[in-house]
Structure 1
Amino acid sequence: MDILIYLGLGLVLFFVFLYFVPVNLWITAIFSGVNVGLFQLVFMRVRRVPPRIIVESLINSTKAGLHLTTADLETHYLAGGHVPSVIKALISADKANIELSFKQAAAIDLAGRDVFEAVQTSVNPQVINTPVVAAVAQDGIQLKAQARVTVRANIAQLVGGAGEETILARVGEGIVTSIGSARSHKDVLENPDSISKLVLEKGLDSGTAFEILSIDIADIDVGENIGAKLQIDQANADLKVAEAKAEERRAMAVAVEQEMKAKSQAARAKVIEAESEIPMAIAEAFKLGKLGIMDYYKLENIKADTDMRESIAGTDDVHQASGKRDDDDD
């Protein structure tokens, strides 16, 4: 039993030794021409750095002619970087004659960008399709354009440079400005390359992580007649304003008419009130001796004569109207 216990304990210690002292990895590094000490691999384990990632990345970089150290790779790994991606980017940049140092690649990687993809974009330009951009020419016709923007990565500005969203926004703004400055939509349809030229002259890639190589108008369509639509809306608004003013004037006229009627009724009421005081005035005149009996009879005769004349005049009017109706019947 003691022998089995010692044997089991020995196996455990052997595997622990192999874990902390990766002899196979050390031998591979030596035969690959990479100078890595055995104790360096042990210290990597202690620092919780996977030795295989560091050694394999160092072997790849050495075979590609890059001069890196284990300290550089360990530092980048401990900072949260992706060591294999950085090594692939450095090898790809070196083969494409693109200047890219390890510090730049590490900074780009730690900034959250895929450094290997950035190098690929720099070697093989990328095409970005803009969304449909609608703009209105000076003649009021709307045009809808879509562009293809060919860009390549600007390695020097990958850290702190704006991304694709900024490129798309600036290109869209340039398209709107170009179409809006055209006198007629026909001019834009005849020369769509004028949009590309105007947009490229603005230097839209400044401060971005990309370099714009070309801007090509992929599609351009005629939209609505915005100018006519705005004129119709303005005419409808003016009509409503005119109707409101006319209604206001009508209401004022009605109010004036009602006021005049009220004044007329008040005047009539005063006349009636004055007429009601005439008998009292006559009686008072009798008492004071200012009016005699003969004067009163004369006044009554004048009144009776006036009533008779008004009656005769009303009867004649009736007869004339009746005779006219008889003539019409004949």
Structure 2
Amino acid sequence: MEEGFGFFGLLAVIIVLFFLFLYYVPILLWFSALVSGVRISLVQLILMRVRKVPPALIVRALIEAHKAGLKDVKRDDLEAHFLAGGHIASVVHALVSAAKANIDLSFQMATAIDLAGRDVFQAVQMSVNPKVIDTPPVAAVAKDGIQLIAKARVTVRANIKQLVGGAGEETVLARVGEGIVSSIGSSMSHKAVLENPDSISKRVLGKGLDAGTAFEILSIDIADIDIGKNIGAVLQMDQAEADKNIAQAKAEERRAMAVALEQEMKAKAQEARAKVIEAEAEVPLAMADAFRNGNLGVMDYLKIKNVEADTSMRDSISKSPQDKPDKNK
């Protein structure tokens, strides 16, 4: 029994060592590269394991590049790109597609695009097959005050040379929307825009909206134009309402000032009446003082009374019958 267990233990150790040997010494992978025409030493494959670089990924990329006739793809460059966090398969696929489509794309440019966070393979595909971007509805107002709502379809293709540092789709859509608003706003009438919508496309294309972006605009087509509100009439109505409110406020201010002035005049009239009453009250006091000082005699006083009675009689005679009080009431 002990000899049987020893034999099976030894066999297990041999199997484990065999698989470890195949893991660190990928003979099958080396043979696959050899028959594919890729010259790579077995020592380099072992060192890749030590450097934590998957040899299968590097060998497959080298085989694909070799079969496609790419001469500038080197093993050291692929390892460096993998260690930098790049996607080796995507880069090699992009280089092969670019070579087949006669697109000038170097290995350094492809790795730079990949490390910048863009899908370089998708960018190459977009260079071959342009992409159509639908803009959201763009509202603009012509000079006659009518609002137009336009939708456009922008056909773009990737600009390989500006993928690193170039603006994305959002910038292209924003610039196209700005161009549509400017084009419609400069039109004298909304009817002219409806009759000739391609004039918007020509004006927008002539502004070079793809400058500094990662795309090249091939065409801008107006897909739909709808008539919106009469903004001019709405603004006039709002202005008229504002003017009316201002006029009402000013009229109310003038009325309040008139009421205040009236109350002020009434107060002044009451003040004047009070002064008259106060002056009339001082007359008897002055007469009494004159009597005491001997400045006014009895005959003088009687003359004053006769004058007052005569004046009162003349006033009653001069009044018209309508001014006389009705005794029957």
**Shared fold (TM-score, shorter chain, > 0.5):** yes
Secondary structure of 2:209's counterpart equals coil
Aligned equivalent of 1:280? 285
Aligned counterparts, 1:88-107, within 5 A: 88-107=93-112
2:149 maps to 1:144 = yes
Match among 21, 24, 29 for residue 25 of structure 1? 29
Question: C-alpha root-mean-square deviation of aligned residues, in Å?
Answer: 2.1
Aligned counterparts, 1:1-330, within 5 A: 1-67=5-71, 68-307=73-312, 316-317=321-322
Q: What CA distance in whole angstroms lies between the structure 2 residues aligned with 1:319 and 1:300?
A: 24
Deviations 1:143-202 (A, max 9, x none): 111110000011111111111011001101101110111111111111111111111111
In structure 2, give the amino acid aligned to 1:288. N
Unpaired runs of 5+ residues, structure 1, are: 324-330
Unpaired runs of 5+ residues, structure 2, are: none
Q: Which stretch has the larger CA shift, 297-306 or 44-53?
A: 297-306
Q: What CA distance in whole angstroms lies between the structure 2 residues aligned with 1:2 and 1:27?
A: 35
TM-aligned CA deviation for residue 297 of structure 1: 2.1
Secondary structure of 2:322's counterpart equals helix
Q: In percent, how many aligned pairs have the same letter?
A: 67
- Count of residue correspondences: 323
Q: What CA distance in whole angstroms lies between the structure 1 residues aligned with 2:124 and 2:293?
A: 130
Q: What CA distance in whole angstroms lies between the structure 2 residues aligned with 1:266 and 1:320?
A: 29
Q: What CA distance in whole angstroms lies between the structure 1 residues aligned with 2:297 and 2:13?
A: 162
Aligned equivalent of 1:326? none
In structure 2, give the amino acid aligned to 1:27. F
TM-aligned CA deviation for residue 121 of structure 1: 0.3
Deviations 1:69-116 (A, max 9, x none): 221211111111111111111111111111111111111111111111
TM score, norm. by length of structure 1: 0.92
TM-aligned CA deviation for residue 318 of structure 1: 7.0
Secondary structure of 1:127's counterpart equals strand
Aligned equivalent of 1:328? none
Q: What CA distance in whole angstroms lies between the structure 2 residues aligned with 1:73 and 1:321?
A: 128
Q: Which stretch has the larger CA shift, 105-114 or 306-315?
A: 306-315
TM-aligned CA deviation for residue 35 of structure 1: 0.8
Q: What CA distance in whole angstroms lies between the structure 2 residues aligned with 1:74 and 1:25?
A: 16
